[in-house]
Amino acid sequence: MTTAALLACDWGTTNLRAWSLDGAGRVVARRDFALGVSKLARGEAAARFAAEVRPALDADALPAVLCGMIGSNLGWTVAPYLEAPVGLDDLAGGLVAPEGSAGWVRIAPGVRADGLTAAGDVMRGEETQLFGWLELDPDRARGRHVVCHPGTHAKWMVVEDGRLTRFVTAMTGELFAVLRRHSVLGGEAPAEDAAAFGEGLAAAADGDALAARLFSARARVVGRGAPVESTPSYLSGLLIGAEAASVPKLLGVTPGTPIALLGDAALCALYRRALERRGMPCEVFDGEAAAVAGLFALYRKGIAR
């Protein structure tokens, strides 16, 4: 029987993913918890971690490393942002021991960078997946790579010689959810419709005038007789298409540039369709494997300090 040596957690706004890992970073056990930081009262994280997360993975005595929104002002203990450019060593150097933790427990910092406005841009959790992706193939630590992490807040990241140098956030996933729940574009439950998704990609054009283009999701139904159940897929195509058309330009990414898509396979497949339509070849990588590799790498470097 494989012996667990580490408890690794990606603790986000809506849920918590946890793995026990052996001494080589291989997964021994995995659990999901509906313990996102948005659902916790202030000061509750330490108690829930000890009472629910550790026992569920038989990890009461294991060292633990955590990333994500648990290190924000909504989480357990604030792990301050590091300023880009950053590498894995910088991230390990910024690990924070949370208040009220028993044993060796560390929370990864987030990363801050210059953004589109004076407010800048931030991330928590995606940086750990990114550095895990780099750890999984040493060749990725050389040269320049563009990595897109689709999600509620999609991250477009530029990596140069193993260091995260720039990134841009696109709130595409959250915008989709808000429009579905709180606008005239709501209604039927989302269903996959590849043709409607493609129609949305075409309607996105160059990603400009998005507020005007969004109303086409309503007009095609009431004015052109499109089936209302196709609206979610059309809206998804429109939003992802607008992101694919406009956001890479903000980072100087041009057609022909390879894009690494890191995350959920189904969502990455939609992004791949949108980006390849724009002449950007894509390869999809497992986001969970990257998260595990990143957390284990942080542990190895953090425990040595």
Q: What is the structure's pLDDT at 132?
A: 98
In this predicted structure, what is the pLDDT of residue 187? Answer: 65
- Which DSSP string do the residues of the chain spell out, in sequence order? -PPP-EEEEEE-SS-EEEEEE-TTS-EEEEEEES--GGGSPTT-HHHHIIIIIHHHTT-TTS-EEEESGGGSTTSSS--PPEESSB-HHHHHHT-BPPTT--SSEEE---EEE--SSTT-EEESSHHHHHHHHHHT-GGGGSSEEEEEE-STTEEEEEEETTEEEEEEEE-HHHHHHHHHHHSTT--SPP---HHHHHHHHHHTTTS-SHHHHHTHHHHHHHTT---GGGHHHHHHHHHHHHHHHHHHHHTT--TT--EEEEE-HHHHHHHHHHHHHTT--EEEEEHHHHHHHHHHHHHHHHHT-
Q: What is the pLDDT of residues 73-103, one digit of tens each?
A: 999 999 999 999 999 999 999 999 998 888 9
* Residue-level pLDDT at 31: 97
Please provide residue 110's backbone torsions phi and psi, each rounded to the nearest 5 degrees. -90, -175
Q: What percent of the chain has pLDDT over 90?
A: 90
Cβ count near 148 (within 10 Å): 27
From first CA to last CA, the distance across the chain in angstroms is: 30
pLDDT of residue 117: 85
Q: Which pLDDT score is estimated for 128?
A: 98
pLDDT of residue 186: 79
What pLDDT sits at residue 1? Answer: 67
Predicted model pTM: 0.94
Task: Give the per-residue pLDDT at 2.
Answer: 81
Query: Quick one: angle between helices 265-277 and 194-203, nearest 10?
Result: 50
What is the reported pLDDT for 190? 65
Which residues pair with residue 264 across a beta bridge? none
Q: How do the pLDDT tens digits run along the chain, 305 residues long?
A: 689 999 999 999 999 999 999 999 999 999 999 999 999 998 899 999 999 999 999 999 999 999 999 999 999 999 999 999 999 999 999 999 998 888 999 999 999 999 888 889 999 999 999 999 999 999 999 999 999 999 999 999 999 999 999 999 999 999 999 999 999 997 666 668 999 999 999 999 999 999 999 999 999 999 999 999 999 999 999 999 999 999 999 999 999 999 999 999 999 999 999 999 999 999 999 999 999 999 999 999 998 76
CB 248 within 8 A of CB 272: no
